[in-house]
Amino acid sequence: MSEKNYGILLLSFSKHSHQSSFVPLYQQHPRTHIVAVTDEVDIEPELKAVNKKWAQQLDVPYIEGVDRALERTDVDILSIGHEIERRADLALRGAAAGKHLWIDKFIGASIDECDAVVKGVEAAGVKSIIPSYIYGELVRQSRAVLDSGRLGGLLGLHADIMFGKGWPRPIPSPPTRDAFLPPGRWKFPDIKRELLTVGAYSAGLIQQCLGPISHVYGQAGAYFFPEHAAHRADDFGTLTMTDDAGRIATLCAGRIGVAAHAAGGPQQTYLIGTKGNILIDAKSPRLDTFLRQTIVATNYQPHTEDYMQWHSGPPTLAAPLMPDNAGLEAGLQEFIRALDEDRPPTYTVREARDNMEILIAGYLSVVRGKLVELPLEREAS
């Protein structure tokens, strides 16, 4: 019997999503094919134009109206790349239509939304995967060394992930901690909140290495971009947490501007064990590349239409040697295997919900200026 080939419906190419990074994966995987692009009817004309352009490029239909697209019987997987505020509703509708879900990072904008998605997806009996956090080099290498037993018992994990993107400028009067924007509003047309956006990767790593997180302390503010300062939002932040056994995790996350790192920004973690420590660099192994003309002629100025470099990277002085550094390809393979075997993937909407709870707790801690306990009280979300 031939193996099933899965039809994929691309739901939105919103500028804050990684849908465009998923396209080559779907095209290259022998068991997936893109059947259409869709989006809601009430989206901005700019987004509609981008969606249509992608549909044209991929030579598939663009379907206005998600519910209409979900009626198609050749759609097995819904690839959700919409704005964070719309994701929960779209995920629930996709699940109710019996479609499996590939969701770009966040499954909802609040814990209530995330809870609803977990409930809806599990009730519908469809499979879900959030591919961005645990299938990449950082988690792969960390898990391998932990599983080897060489570190002994894990005591702590300390991750630094920073994106060397965007063009920092002086901030004349940075907002005080007291004025920090509470959690809930995650993006504006010109910025995303970076403790959430970048910190989610380290939170995923922490989930895979430690037990359930019980306490979170957060610090955040704007240091690099006047745009973040104007919104009283974070372009950089740190979290400190302990799990139910008292083991320690810390992370820093942020967008720190171009040309601050040879490989486009640190992505590393220290694992501290009773028998040893290890520093894992997600951007290693890599080849250092010092090509004179490339260096002296480099134009670091971000594109005017992608000022924060959400869809582009800065020039770097290093080339990664591992082809699937971010782990998206591994994520897709895992998803297909899970569908074949009728089992949930390792990182589903349930784990993504817990990831979001850690981050929201961090934001609440910044606002309150004190430690926050998990699980969060309902009104806090």
Partner 1 sequence: MANTALVLVAVPTQQEIVQALCTRTEIAAVFNPTRRPIADLPVPVFADWASLEEYATPDVCCFLTPYAALKKDLHRCIDKRINVLSAGPIGLTLNEIETISKTARDRELALHFGGPYPFSPLFQQLKEQRQRPEFGQPVYLRLVQGKGSGLQTAWWTLCDALNQACELLDSELQEAYVSAVKQNGKYHLSLTGATANRANIQLTIAPLALSLYPDITLLGSGGLLTNRSVSSAPLLMGRDGLEFHLHPTYPPEPAWLGDFLNKINSTNAPDLDWPVLNLHHQILRGARLSMRQKAPVHIKLQP
- Residues within the interface to partner 1 (CB under 8 A): 152-153, 155-156, 158, 160, 162, 168, 170, 174, 177, 214-215, 217, 219, 221, 223-224, 236-238, 240-242, 244-248, 250, 252, 256-257, 259-261, 266, 270, 272, 274, 276-277, 279, 369-371
3-class SS at 311?
coil
Q: In angstroms, what is the minimal distance from the CB of 184 to partner 1?
A: 23
Per 3-state DSSP, what percentage of the chain is helix, strand, and coil (rounded to 5)?
35, 20, 45
Specify the residue, 177 or 185, whose C-beta has the smaller distance to partner 1. Answer: 177
The contacts of residue 292 (CB under 8 Å, 6+ apart) are none
Q: In angstroms, what is the minimal distance from the CB of 154 to partner 1?
A: 9
Q: In angstroms, what is the minimal distance from the CB of 236 to partner 1?
A: 6
Q: In angstroms, what is the minimal distance from the CB of 242 to partner 1?
A: 5
Around Cβ 98, how many Cβ atoms within 10 Å? 13
CA distances 254 to 114, 176, 234, 237, Å, are 23, 18, 8, 6
CA distances 209 to 59, 86, 114, 155, 161, Å, are 42, 30, 22, 10, 17
**Bridge partners, 267 (sequence order):** 161
Specify the residue, 217 or 335, whose C-beta has the smaller distance to partner 1. Answer: 217
DSSP symbol at 267: E
- Nearest 5°: phi and psi at 313? -120, 160
- DSSP secondary structure letters along 28-94: HSTTEEEEEEEE-TTS-HHHHHHHHHHHHHHT--EEESHHHHHT-TT--EEEE-S-HHHHHHHHHHH
Q: Print burial letters for 214-226: b (CB count within 10 Å at least 16), e (below 16).
A: ebbbbbbbbbbbb
Residue 359 near residue 200 (C-beta atoms within 8 A): yes
Q: In angstroms, what is the minimal distance from the CB of 363 to partner 1?
A: 15
Specify the residue, 120 or 314, whose C-beta has the smaller distance to partner 1. Answer: 314
Q: In angstroms, what is the minimal distance from the CB of 321 to partner 1?
A: 17
Q: In angstroms, what is the minimal distance from the CB of 331 to partner 1?
A: 29
Residue 181 near residue 274 (C-beta atoms within 8 A): no
Quote the Cα angle for 233-237-242, to 5°. Answer: 130
Specify the residue, 284 or 333, whose C-beta has the smaller distance to partner 1. Answer: 284
Nearest to 280 by CA among 373, 148, 377: 148
Cα dihedral sign for 254, 259, 262, 264? positive
- Nearest 5°: phi and psi at 239? -130, 145
Around Cβ 205, how many Cβ atoms within 10 Å? 26
Q: In angstroms, what is the minimal distance from the CB of 377 to partner 1?
A: 17
Q: In angstroms, what is the minimal distance from the CB of 356 to partner 1?
A: 21
Specify the residue, 68 or 370, whose C-beta has the smaller distance to partner 1. Answer: 370
Token pair of 360, please?
């929201």
Q: In angstroms, what is the minimal distance from the CB of 311 to partner 1?
A: 23
